[in-house]
């Protein structure tokens, strides 16, 4: 049977060669004759392809019947005590039969010229099993570290390895861009403690003239797209935590993601879990609330977890630059939220980079990194599911006492508990945010850490909600 299949394939190749030769032959014929000749050749080719499809289908059916017949014979031999074929030979035959079936199926697909989405092609063209669970049922969550030209990636990797509770559960993949020799040497020293991959496309990127000074953002987007495709569709991971090479992590970094994982995969209104609080500066967080988590409409980044399902959605339309602002657009967010902590589980030490230190001196270097280990996997986090969270959150915010910034600053608020400072315009929000030292910018109309327009933080021992009116009906993208 295998010889027949090889003969058919060889004959097909010869036929294709002859057709190609006649098609490209330089013959002195008129335009009309040439058109007719090409049309005739195409018709013949179509008929031949149909014949090949029919023949392949027949071969496929014969192989299946032979395989079924062989199973019956083996069963009879087993029941009557007859001689058995050597196990290794049986397995080899099985592998060969399966390979022939797969080859024939692939030939049929090629003959039909099926068009496949690039992302799904990458996913299905490699027989990589999805790495989703350990034998005990716990999730496998890969840590994907993005690196370029910072030898300080060592600081990040040292912490990841130090705090990693389980090598099999949290494999570390370092994706290197930029071809920076010193950085590559640092990464190589970790040997089999990590997996080292390198972004192969180092070609120059065409950038619009007005954005030439932002070329770095284009390279970062290209790197992210390639590395995430590789992690999900080549390496086969089902869940990934993204870490950049300039991040410190908290001792309970892995516990945080492991504890929130069930929420991410069960609540369709969530699309990420982030270790970062954009307004998590010392003085703006409750240092006694190390176990408190929130929902946020603002994509935080800086240490965040996503699933293969989300990447399959985003990958086909991945942008050429500014991926983090792109992902915050309504078309991508689709009213989904992320989980974020009261106190950050990551902190950036990268003052220099493509952003040239934007926000670093005013905000980022003051972010408080958690130091107390919280056992999130032992906590009941169902309060973060949308149905539970929204009702409680709205009640807490709009039943709190309304105050002004000056009253709060000067200690003139006598009522106990949380307070609310209303805002009704973009400028009113920005003015109040600056007074508190919050990050005051918007992305696609969403303020940093905002949920339903509300930004929650801590100030002088009191929970504060910077909130729009109670009849808030969505974000205004023009506020960006």
Predicted confidence band of residue 215 (pLDDT cuts 50, 70, 90): very high
Would the pLDDT of 430 be above 60? yes
The burial of 92, by beta-carbon neighbours within 10 Å (0-12 exposed, 13-18 middle, 19 or more buried), is given as exposed
Domain CATH code at residue 447: 3.10.180.20
Could you say which of 370, 386, 412 is where a domain stops? Answer: 370
The burial of 454, by beta-carbon neighbours within 10 Å (0-12 exposed, 13-18 middle, 19 or more buried), is given as buried
Q: What pTM was estimated for this model as a whole?
A: 0.74
Q: What is the pLDDT of residues 434-444, one digit of tens each?
A: 999 999 999 99
Proportion of the chain above pLDDT 90, given as a percent: 70
Other C-beta atoms lying within 10 Å of the C-beta of residue 24: 7
User: What is the mean pLDDT of the segment spanning 50-73?
Assistant: 50
Per the domain annotation, does 271 fall within a domain?
Answer: yes
Choice among 9-13, 193-197, 267-271, 313-317 with the minimum mean pLDDT: 9-13
Tokens of 302: 């800086």
Same domain membership, residue 417 and residue 269: no
Count up the domains in the chain and report the number: 2
For position 26, what pLDDT does the model report?
45
Same domain membership, residue 174 and residue 239: yes
Would the pLDDT of 76 be above 50? no
Per the domain annotation, does 292 fall within a domain?
Answer: yes
Q: DSSP readout, 44-68? A: HHHHHHHHHHHHHHHHHHHHHHHHH
The burial of 416, by beta-carbon neighbours within 10 Å (0-12 exposed, 13-18 middle, 19 or more buried), is given as exposed
User: 């090479």: which residue's tokens?
Assistant: 245
For position 127, what pLDDT does the model report?
62
Same domain membership, residue 275 and residue 162: yes
Choice among 42-56, 94-108, 229-243 with the minimum mean pLDDT: 94-108
Would the pLDDT of 393 be above 60? yes
For position 41, what pLDDT does the model report?
54
For position 350, what pLDDT does the model report?
77
Q: DSSP readout, 203-259? A: ------GGGGGGHHHHHHHHHHHHHHHIIIIIS-BSEEEEEETTEEE-TTHHHHHHH
For position 398, what pLDDT does the model report?
98
86 is catalytic: no
For position 90, what pLDDT does the model report?
38
**Cβ 327 vs Cβ 314: under 8 Å:** yes
Tokens of 290: 């190390």
Would the pLDDT of 116 be above 50? no
User: What is the mean pLDDT of the segment spanning 61-84?
Assistant: 46
The more confidently predicted of residues 272 and 110 is 272
User: What is the mean pLDDT of the segment spanning 187-206?
Assistant: 97
User: What is the mean pLDDT of the segment spanning 186-204?
Assistant: 97
Domain CATH code at residue 188: 3.90.550.10
In this structure, the chain runs to a length of: 480
Classify the C-alpha dihedral 85-89-92-93 as positive or negative.
negative
User: What is the mean pLDDT of the segment spanning 196-210?
Assistant: 95
Same domain membership, residue 425 and residue 366: no
Per the domain annotation, does 219 fall within a domain?
Answer: yes
**Cβ 239 vs Cβ 148: under 8 Å:** no
Same domain membership, residue 238 and residue 301: yes
Per the domain annotation, does 21 fall within a domain?
Answer: no
Q: What is the pLDDT of residues 310-351, one digit of tens each?
A: 999 999 999 999 999 999 999 999 999 999 999 999 999 976
> Residue 291: phi, psi to the nearest 5?
-100, 5
Per the domain annotation, does 88 fall within a domain?
Answer: no
Q: How far apart are CA 112 and CA 108, in angstroms?
A: 6
Would the pLDDT of 7 be above 80? no
Same domain membership, residue 325 and residue 216: yes
Proportion of the chain above pLDDT 70, given as a percent: 72
For position 107, what pLDDT does the model report?
41
Predicted confidence band of residue 5 (pLDDT cuts 50, 70, 90): low
Catalytic residue among 74, 238, 324, 476: 324
Would the pLDDT of 67 be above 90? no
Other C-beta atoms lying within 10 Å of the C-beta of residue 354: 14
Average pLDDT over all residues of the chain: 83
The strand pairing partners of 198, in sequence order, are: 176
Q: What is the pLDDT of residues 139-175, one digit of tens each?
A: 999 999 999 999 999 999 999 999 999 999 999 999 9
Same domain membership, residue 425 and residue 319: no
| CA-closest candidate to residue 418, choices 439, 390, 398 | 398
Same domain membership, residue 445 and residue 306: no
For position 115, what pLDDT does the model report?
34
Same domain membership, residue 274 and residue 186: yes
**Which residue range is the domain that position 410 belongs to?**
396-479
């Amino acid at each position: 049977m295998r010889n027949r299949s090889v003969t058919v394939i060889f004959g097909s190749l010869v036929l294709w060669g002859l057709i190609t030769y006649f098609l490209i032959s330089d013959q002195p014929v008129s335009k009309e004759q040439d058109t007719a000749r090409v049309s005739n050749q195409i018709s013949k080719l179509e008929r031949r392809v149909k014949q090949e499809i029919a023949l392949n289908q027949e071969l496929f059916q014969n192989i299946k019947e032979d395989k079924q017949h062989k199973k019956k014979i083996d069963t009879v031999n087993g029941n009557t005590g007859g001689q058995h074929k050597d196990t290794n030979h049986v397995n080899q035959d099985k592998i060969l039969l399966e390979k022939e079936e797969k080859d024939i199926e692939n030939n049929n697909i090629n003959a039909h010229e099926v068009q496949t989405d690039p992302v799904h092609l990458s996913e299905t063209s490699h027989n990589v099993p999805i790495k989703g669970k350990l034998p005990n049922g716990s999730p496998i969550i890969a840590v994907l570290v993005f690196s370029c030209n910072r030898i300080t990636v060592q600081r990040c990797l040292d912490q990841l390895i130090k705090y990693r509770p389980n090598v099999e559960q949290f494999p570390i993949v370092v994706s290197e861009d930029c071809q920076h020799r010193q950085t590559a040497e640092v990464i190589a020293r970790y040997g089999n403690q990590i997996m080292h991959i390198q972004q192969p496309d180092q070609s120059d990127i065409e950038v619009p003239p007005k954005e030439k000074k932002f070329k770095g953002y284009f390279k970062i987007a290209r790197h992210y797209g390639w590395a995430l495709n590789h992690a999900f569709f080549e390496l086969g991971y089902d869940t990934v935590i993204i870490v950049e090479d300039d991040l410190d992590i908290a001792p309970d970094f892995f516990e945080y993601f492991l504890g929130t994982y069930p929420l991410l995969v069960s609540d369709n209104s969530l699309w990420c879990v982030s270790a970062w609080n954009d307004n998590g500066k010392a003085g703006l967080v409750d240092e006694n609330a190390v176990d408190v988590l929130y929902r946020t409409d603002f994509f935080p980044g800086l240490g965040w977890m996503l699933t293969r399902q989300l990447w399959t959605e985003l990958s086909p339309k991945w942008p050429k630059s500014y991926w983090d602002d792109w992902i915050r657009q309504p078309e991508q967010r689709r009213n989904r939220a992320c989980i974020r902590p009261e106190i950050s589980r990551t902190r950036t030490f990268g003052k220099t980079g493509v952003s040239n230190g934007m926000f670093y001196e005013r905000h980022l270097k003051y972010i408080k990194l958690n130091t107390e280990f919280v056992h999130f996997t032992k906590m009941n986090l169902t309060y973060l599911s949308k149905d539970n969270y929204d009702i409680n959150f709205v009640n807490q915010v709009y039943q709190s006492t309304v105050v002004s910034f000056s009253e709060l600053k000067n200690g003139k608020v006598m009522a106990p508990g949380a307070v609310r400072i209303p805002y009704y315009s973009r400028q009113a929000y920005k003015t109040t945010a600056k007074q508190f030292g919050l990050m005051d910018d918007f992305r696609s109309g969403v303020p940093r850490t905002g949920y339903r327009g509300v930004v929650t933080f801590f100030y002088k021992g009191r929970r504060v909600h910077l909130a729009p009116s109670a009849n808030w009906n969505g974000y205004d993208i023009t506020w960006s």
